[in-house]
A and B are shown apart, each in its own frame.
Chain A
Amino acid sequence: MRAAIRRLFGIALTLIAVSVGMFWASASYARRPSNQQRSPFAAFPVFFNPHPIGVRDLSSNALRSIARGGRPAVAAQIELARLGGAALPYVLPALDTLDPHSRERVALALTPVAVRMEVASPEELADGAQAVLFWTRFWQDRAIDFRAASVRHLTSRLAERSIALRREDLIHVDTFALPALIDALGQVDTVDDVARIQRLNSVLAHITELPVPCPPGASIADARKIVELWWDFWQLHGTEYSALDGPRRLAASFVETQYGKWLAAVLRGGLGRTQSGERALDLVLQGLATTSFLLFVGLGGGFPLGVAWTRFERRSHRFATRVASAVAGTALAAIPCATFVRASAGPNAGLLSAIALVTITTAAWVSRHLARSTMSQSVSPIAAAFSVSAPLGATYPPFVLSAIVLVELIFQLPGLGRTAALSLASGDVNAWMAASLSLASASLLLRHAADLIRPRAISSQIRGLR
């Protein structure tokens, strides 16, 4: 039992390390100058973010730039308008610390926010002094509304039932309500859920000014797509609307990275979504059948064939036969034979040719290793196959998986290897990670299975010796 737990723990630890390695590989590959498509998370650090930026930092920076004036203030005004209500708890209390001109500039920069919040018209805030007065009074009256608990309460009430007043209350706090609204989206399983998504989407689209329509006749699938869209938005921009204080800042150092974003998408279910909008899990399930079929048929046919081959070679008394067998084995184990066959087979040769290639390559590879391993011994090839299963198990998976990738690419089979290769080339991180992690899991299982079938007598002797 302890051994099983230790083995499972080892597999899990290796898979985590492999996922880190593969993510690094994907990020390194995506950084090539010739790469056309970039991940939406490419701006984040890969594994560690030493300076995660939240709404407090962004709004303070924007406030300072606007207060100073000049050309950078234009970009800062746009940024402040985008941050909206989430920035108000940091901007409005800081107005008193500015000189009168800077204060007016900042108050005027907040005009688009006031209009979006439907608390004032542009005409009311045309003058700097008026704008300062308006925002000072606004904060005196409404500061109490900018509390997470009250916004969460408002959101849950809107999610339960549609009343125009509840919608207005949420619009009045603008982007400050985003975390609660995104949380309230939840699962979509019934028609009632679709109605809830419609109500929440209406507020979300208004406060973010993003064109995400949810028409009255939307289906459950449509509503799910909308939820996915908002989650994607939140994954990308969530921290820009959230305060990073205390433990949240510490967590953000790991979460606000490319790897953290991928992990969050995986934990949401479905292994994230590919660039084409498909669930990465579905992509894996589509490719799994072809790859596992190739793997198991190749393994099931190739291994016994390799053992029989070695047996034949060892029992043959003619030197010429043995040399011919060794040459043929070596030649067939050279994976480019797959491409050699391609010249005559063409791209549509199909699954049968692919299976034949993987089986023959496996058999030749196994026979070469067994021939060399059993040369100086009197044990049978079958016994030798078991006794050398651990080293063969360690080197066979990368060999056969590379062969499968090559064969899938050449014969255009919809397997995991081809999916992984094409997604790495196109910079589709979620598809790459899903396909390559599946291949890594298969490889690890093969290695551990090979280790398990190793004869226990030898295993215990080895343990004793070590």
Chain B
Amino acid sequence: MNEPLSPKLRLALAAVGAALLVVLATALAPLSPGLQAYARGLAFAVLAGLSIMAVAFLVALPLGALAASGPRVIDWALRFACDLVGSLPTVFVAAVFWAGTSSTSSFVCALGVLRGLEQAWLLRCEIVRLEAEDPESVPRGLGRTPLVAFLRRRLSAALGPLFVSASFSVAWLMALDAAVTQAGLRPPNALSTWGPLLGAPHPSPLPALLAAGSVVFLTVALHALFRPPSAA
């Protein structure tokens, strides 16, 4: 019982859980308009959450690695970009993106880039910290770490905080959606999401409870999925 689950088993469990959630949503949808809204929001939450994670990883991995061990100007630019983006509560940036972008996919991509910048900084800090705390663990030649050694040892060891941050992507998106709705900043022609269920008064609490429960489930599933095998 003390042994952690293997990555394959965790992936399988997460897939089964997500499938069950989709089946449940599809089965419940015809019962009431609220449950129909929940089912439609589930599709958006899963697809948009995964897209945000994918875009964020695409941005964060090269940028974070370059900022940590590449030219200094990239480090400076990333710090400045993070200072700039991080100075505002993300809810306002999201509201402006949503109002300004023409399609939902570009809105989701913009959020992914935003998330990617934050995660790139996390990755950069973790790599620099690991290098400072344990400089001998990765072989160096002519003052430089070989790329293969960097990717296999340093980068893989530094991915922990990035995965933690990534596991909150769905929750992050839904929180933004709810806050934007609550503040009255939601575009009138926006897709059907869980934002109105979570952020606006609703006659029946069941869809809101289901949506909040699903967010928690998806977050926990992602967190468990990203847990490295060495973790207890």
On A, residues with C-beta under 8 Å from B are 10, 14-15, 17-18, 21-22, 25, 28-29, 32, 34, 319-320, 322, 326-327, 330-331, 333-340, 343, 368-369, 372-373, 375-376, 387-388, 390-391, 394-395, 397-399, 401-406, 409-410, 417-418, 420-422, 424-425, 436, 439-440, 443-444, 447, 458, 461-462, 465-466
Contact = CB atoms under 8 A, between A and B. Distances in A.
Given A334-B175, A424-B95, A320 B185 contact: no
B131 A18 contact: no
Nearest to B226: A372
B184 interface: yes
Contacts of B38: none
A275 B70 CA distance: 49
A334 B91 contact: no
Interface string B89-132: 11111011001100000000000000000100110011011011
29 contacts: A18-B84, A21-B84, A29-B99, A29-B100, A34-B187, A34-B188, A322-B232, A326-B224, A333-B219, A339-B198, A340-B208, A369-B164, A394-B86, A395-B121, A395-B165, A397-B87, A401-B88, A402-B91, A402-B179, A403-B175, A405-B92, A405-B183, A409-B179, A421-B95, A424-B95, A439-B89, A440-B87, A443-B86, A458-B133
- Among A22, A334, A376, A421, max chain B CB count under 10 A is at A334
Interface residues of B, number: 73
A340 B88 contact: no
B59 interface: no
Contacts of B131: 462, 465
Interface residues of chain B: helix, strand, loop or mixed (majority): helix
Given A395-B121, A458-B129, A401 B89 contact: yes
Contacts of B188: 34
Contact of B168 (A327, A333, A390, A436): A333
A416 to B, nearest CB: 10
B85 interface: yes
B12 interface: no
Interface string B150-189: 0000000100110111011001101110110011110110
A368 B122 CA distance: 14
Interface stretch (B13-21, B25-33, B209-217): B209-217
A279 to B, nearest CB: 22
A402 B176 contact: yes
- 8 nearest A-B pairs in the assembled complex, by CB-CB distance: A334-B171, A391-B125, A421-B183, A335-B175, A340-B212, A401-B89, A440-B87, A461-B132
Contacts of B209: 340, 343
B73 to A, nearest CB: 12
Given A339-B199, A390-B125, A391-B161, A25 B93 contact: yes
Nearest to B88: A440
A339 B1 contact: no
A403 B171 CA distance: 12
B94 to A, nearest CB: 9
B183 A29 contact: no
Contacts of A425: 183-185
A28 B99 contact: yes
A417 B161 CA distance: 27
A34 B98 CA distance: 14
B84 A398 contact: no
Nearest to A464: B132
Contacts of A420: 89, 92
Nearest to A426: B184
Contact of A32 (B187, B205, B223): B187
B175 A406 contact: yes
Given A18-B88, A394-B86, A398-B90, A29 B95 contact: yes
